[in-house]
Amino acid sequence: MPSAASDTTAGKAAFNDDDRDDCLPRHPFDDDKLKEECGVFGAIGLTDASNFVALGLHALQHRGQEAGGIVCHHPEHGFNSARRFGYIRDNFTSQSVMETLPGPVAIGHVRYSTAGSKGAAQIRDVQPFFGEFSMGGAAIAHNGNITNAEALRRELIERGSIFQSSSDSECIIHLMARSLQRGIPERMEDALRRVEGAFSVVAMTGTQLIGVRDPLGVRPLVLGKVADGWVLSSETCALDIIGAELIREIEPGEMVVITEKGIESRRPFRPQSPRFCIFEHVYFSRPDSILGGRSVYETRRQIGVELAREAPVDADLVCPVPDSGTPAAIGFAHESGIPYGMGIIRNQYMGRTFIEPTEQIRNMGVRLKLNVNRALIQGKRVILVDDSVVRGTTSRKIKEMILDAGAAEVHFRIASPPTAWPCFYGVDTPQREKLLAATMSEDEMRDHLAVDSLKFISLDGLYRAVGEAEGRNNSCPQYCDACFSGEYPVAPSDMIEKGFELKAAE
C-alpha cells in the first residue's frame, strides 16, 4: 500500500524508473520564478472520462510540467493508470495510450515536485496514488503541501506502513489504510483530519468522484458540469477546454462525493476563516480563469492600476515582462496615461531544443527566452512591469538587455509585495536567505539591481486589487499572504522542527 493500479500504457510498470522521459526544459530563466504547484482534474459520468481528464490536465499544464498521470476505472476492466514524465500533450494524446484508460470515472494530476523527489524525479512519485482497501480501490491526487508530512511519515513507518514514494501525498493513502471507517469517503475524512497544511484533493473509487479542500481553502478547486457528467478542476480554464459549465467552487473545508445519484456535500473539519493563496491571483493561475468569482486577468490589470497610483514615475513607455506581467502593465499604462508597448518579446518556442544547453548557450541566459524590441526601446525612459522578484537574477539581466538596447532609464514596478518568506503550502520557493527581499530593503534592492527606481505594490494595494476595498484586515487577514508578510496561517511544523524561524511577534 499504495499499489499502482495496473499501468497498461506501453506495457510498462507504473513505478518503472526507466520510464523517465526527460523532456523538461531546464533553463536559467526558470530558476528565478516561484514554481507553480500542481494541478488536479477529475471526471465522472462521461464515456471514456480519461479523455476529458487529459484535456483538463493539458489546460492546467502551467501548474506543473514535470510529469502527469491518470487513473481510471471501468466496470469490467477495473482500475488502470498511466504515469509519464513530460507534458500531457506528448503522453496522453495518442489512441494507443488513451484506449488503455477506459471507463466513466477518472482523475489526473500534473506535477511540479514541491515535495518528494526534486530535479531527478522518479516515476513512483508521480500521482495519482492508488490504494487497495478491503472495500475496494481508491486513487487520490493532491495539490498543495502537507506541512506535517515528515512527522506523519515517521509515525506511520513506526507502525508498519511501507512507503513507496517520497511524496507527502502518500501519507493520505496510509492514513486511510489505518482508518476503521467502512467507506472510502469516511476513511478520507479520518485521514485528512490528521493532515496539516494546504490540500485540494481529487479522489475516486469505482463509482465515486471525491473532491476536498483544506479548512482554509489555500488551493483552488472548482466543480463543473458537462453533458451528464461532473468534473472537478484546479482552475476554471480547464472547464472551458471541455465545454463544461462552472457550477461553483468547492468551499474551504468542504468534501463533495459525486455518484450517479448526484452530489453530497460534507463538512469533515472544524470551520475556520478561509485563507486562499493571494499569489494565485498574482501569478499562478491562468489569466483566463475565474477565482472567487473574479477574472484573474481583470485582477492583474487592477494590480497595475493600484501600482500606478501608489508608485507613479515620469517615463515614456510601459513594458510588461512577458507573459505574466502583461495584464498589470496594461493596467499601469491605462492609469498612468503612459503608452504601453511590447518592449520585450518572448520566444514562444523554447522547449526541448536546449534541454541540456552547452556552457556557451547557458551563458546567454535570459536571451534564449526573451529578446528586446530595440526599435521601440531606444532612447526611452522605460517602466518594466513584472509579477515578482525572487532572487533578482532575471531582473538584473533584463535590465541589462534594456539598457544595451539603448533605453535612457529603467524603472521596475512589481505586481506583488516583496517576496521575503518561503511558501510551505505547495509552491517551490528558494530558502529564505536566497530571496532578495529577505535580506534587503526596497532601496537596497534598487541599488543591487542598478535600476533608476524600483517599487513593489503594497500589501494593502494588492488586497484592494483582489476586491478588498478596505485593504488587508491585519487582525484577521482575508488571504494567505505568508510569503509577503511572514504570517503563516498554518504553522509549518516539519520546517520548524528543522530549525525554520517564524517571524517574531511585533
User: Hey, which residues are catalytic here?
Assistant: 38
Q: 242-251: string of b/e by CB count within 10 Å (b at 16+)?
A: bebebeebbe
Measure the CA–CA gap between 36 and 483, rounded to whole angstroms.
14
List phi, psi (to 5°) of 245: -95, 135
Q: Considering the rule CB under 6 A, would residue 483 count as an interface residue with ligand SF4?
A: yes
Q: Residue 236 or residue 419: which is nearer to ligand SF4 going by CB? A: 419
CB of 421 to ligand SF4, least distance (A): 7
Q: Considering the rule CB under 6 A, would residue 435 count as an interface residue with ligand SF4?
A: no
What Å distances lie between residue 339 and 168, 189, 317, 320, 381, CA to CA? Answer: 48, 54, 5, 12, 11
Instruction: List all residues 6 or more positions away from 417 whose beta carbon is below 8 Å from its beta carbon.
Output: 456, 457, 458, 459, 462, 481, 484
CB of 484 to ligand SF4, least distance (A): 7
The binding track of 262-301 with respect to ligand SF4, each residue x by CB under 6 A or -, is: ---------------xxx----------------------
User: Interface with ligand SF4 by CB under 6 A: which range of 6-14, 330-338, 357-365, 423-431?
Assistant: 423-431
CB of 197 to ligand SF4, least distance (A): 10
User: Taking CA 316 as the corner, what is the angle to CA 313 and CA 317, rounded to the nearest 5 degrees?
Assistant: 95
Total interface residues for ligand SF4 by CB under 6 A? 11
**Which residue bears the cell 523554447?**
350
Q: Considering the rule CB under 6 A, would residue 44 count as an interface residue with ligand SF4?
A: no
CB of 419 to ligand SF4, least distance (A): 8
CB of 218 to ligand SF4, least distance (A): 5
Q: For 396-420, give the secondary structure using H, E and C.
A: HHHHHHHHHCCCCEEEEEECCCCCC
Q: Residue 344 or residue 480: which is nearer to ligand SF4 going by CB? A: 480
Q: Which of 209, 317, 482, 490 binds ligand SF4 (CB under 6 A)?
A: 482
Q: Considering the rule CB under 6 A, would residue 423 count as an interface residue with ligand SF4?
A: yes
Q: Which of residues 63-122 bind ligand SF4 (CB under 6 A)?
A: none
302, 309 contact by CB (below 8 A): no
Identify residue 418 by its one-letter amino acid code.
Answer: P
**Which residue bears the cell 488586497?**
463
Measure the CA–CA gap between 318 and 330, rounded to whole angstroms.
8
Q: Considering the rule CB under 6 A, would residue 199 count as an interface residue with ligand SF4?
A: no
What Å distances lie between residue 181 and 79, 176, 177, 296, CA to CA? Answer: 22, 9, 10, 40
CB of 278 to ligand SF4, least distance (A): 5
User: Interface with ligand SF4 by CB under 6 A: which range of 5-13, 328-336, 422-430, 433-441?
Assistant: 422-430
Cα–chain center distance at 430: 15
Q: Which of 54, 203, 218, 319 binds ligand SF4 (CB under 6 A)?
A: 218
Q: Residue 47 or residue 474: which is nearer to ligand SF4 going by CB? A: 474
Q: Which of 274, 270, 269 is nearest to 252 (CA)?
A: 274
Q: Which of 149, 481, 490, 492 binds ligand SF4 (CB under 6 A)?
A: 481
Q: Which of 427, 436, 465, 466 binds ligand SF4 (CB under 6 A)?
A: 427
What residues make contact with ligand SF4 under the rule CB under 6 A? Answer: 218, 277-279, 423, 425, 427, 480-483
